[in-house]
């Protein structure tokens, strides 16, 4: 037996998040995606695949470099917004495809670079997603995966969890054994092992720090609630009174960080792994 939801349920969950995701997550993730892509060679004519692409964190920066981009996501609403972003920038060489990351349908050895930023790591069956990314990458091509580091070093989430624990005495947060999908590659040694087991060589895993500007407690709650279905369930489980108290506590935490201003810069460790097929 498995508690993995069926693909149509997963697609519906991400579709529901797409408007908020595009508003609160993508502006920051585009900037971070641009940094991550600095680890691979991408230029005019590069055949680039973005797996579980969301609304374009890697696709848009790759297209700006001249790559021929194919972006895939299980959620149609994510792909619609990604393509709209590309067209708004005049990036015409971006194709969006609604696909399950475990069944990419492309022929073997199609792409020069296959990449995913906090996308394929949302799969409970991560190895299946990695195997597909490797399969569709040409020999000598590169696979890149960016994933969150340890939860204590992902502050946009730890600030909210700390506020919820202070405001709601019986609040427990998400189960961490095993860690939820966004954190399944938090250990860099494990990350290297998974990429190597998927068939890659010359594997490297580095840790970078994302800086995220949070304008207000409400902004932070909206970020968590739209980041993925786990965050959405976390916030949705709060009553109105509990949410009000969480916002009050968050305001204090953010002001403590920023010198009594309502906005603050939070940090998140992100592991970026690359390997050659």
Indicate which CATH number applies to the domain containing 114. 3.40.50.150
Structure tokens, 8: 């149509």
DSSP the chain: ---PPPHHHHHHHHHHHHHHIIIIIHHHHHHHHHHHGGGS---TT-EEEETT-TTTTTHHHHHHTT-EEEEEES-HHHHHHHHHHHHHTT--SEEEEE--TT---PPTT-EEEEEEESSGGG-SSHHHHHHHHHHTEEEEEEEEEEEE--GGGBHHHHHHHHHHHHH-TT---S--SSPPGGGTT-SHHHHHHHHHHTT-EEEEEEEEEEEEEE-SHHHHHHHHHHH-HHHHHHHHTS-HHHHHHHHHHHHHHHHHHHTS-S-EEEEEEEEEEEEE-
In a domain, 160, yes or no: yes
Range of the domain at 205: 7-276
In a domain, 118, yes or no: yes
Q: First-to-last CA distance in the chain?
A: 34
In a domain, 254, yes or no: yes
In a domain, 51, yes or no: yes
In a domain, 2, yes or no: no
Instruction: Tell me the pLDDT of the chain (277 aa) as tens digits.
Output: 346 778 899 999 999 999 999 999 999 999 999 999 999 999 999 999 999 999 999 999 999 999 999 999 999 999 999 999 999 999 999 999 999 999 999 999 999 999 999 999 999 899 999 999 999 999 999 999 999 999 999 999 999 999 999 998 888 887 778 888 999 999 999 999 999 999 999 999 999 999 999 999 999 999 999 999 888 988 888 899 999 999 999 999 999 999 999 899 999 999 999 999 9
In a domain, 121, yes or no: yes
How, if at all, do strands 264-276 and 201-214 pair? antiparallel
Q: What is the pTM of this model?
A: 0.94
For the chain, what is the domain count? 1
Q: What is the structure's pLDDT at 115?
A: 98
Q: What is the structure's pLDDT at 2?
A: 43
Q: What is the structure's pLDDT at 3?
A: 62
């Amino acid at each position: 037996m498995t508690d993995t939801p069926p693909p149509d349920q997963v697609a519906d969950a991400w579709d529901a998040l797409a408007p908020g995701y595009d508003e609160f997550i993508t502006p920051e993730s585009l900037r971070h995606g641009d940094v991550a892509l600095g680890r691979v060679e991408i230029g005019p004519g590069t055949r680039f695949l973005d797996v579980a692409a969301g609304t374009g964190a890697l696709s848009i920066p790759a297209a700006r470099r001249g790559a021929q981009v194919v972006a895939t996501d299980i959620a149609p609403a994510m792909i619609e917004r990604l393509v709209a972003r590309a067209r708004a920038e005049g990036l015409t060489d971006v194709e969006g495809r609604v696909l399950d990351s475990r069944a990419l349908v492309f022929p073997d050895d199609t792409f020069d670079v296959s990449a995913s930023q906090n996308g394929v790591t949302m799969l409970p069956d991560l190895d299946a997603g990695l195997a597909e990314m490797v399969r569709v990458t040409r020999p000598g091509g590169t696979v890149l995966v960016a994933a969150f580091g340890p939860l204590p070093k992902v502050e946009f989430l730890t600030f909210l969890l700390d506020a919820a624990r202070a405001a709601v005495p019986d609040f427990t947060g998400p189960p961490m054994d095993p860690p939820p999908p966004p954190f399944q590659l938090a250990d860099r040694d494990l990350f290297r092992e998974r990429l190597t087991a998927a068939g890659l060589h010359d594997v490297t895993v580095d840790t970078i720090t994302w800086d995220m500007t949070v304008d207000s407690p409400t902004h932070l709650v909206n970020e968590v609630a739209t980041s993925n279905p786990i965050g959405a369930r976390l916030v949705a489980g709060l009553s109105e009174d509990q949410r009000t108290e969480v916002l009050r506590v968050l305001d204090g935490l953010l002001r403590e960080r920023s010198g009594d201003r309502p906005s603050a810069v939070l940090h998140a460790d992100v592991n970026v792994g690359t390997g050659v097929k």
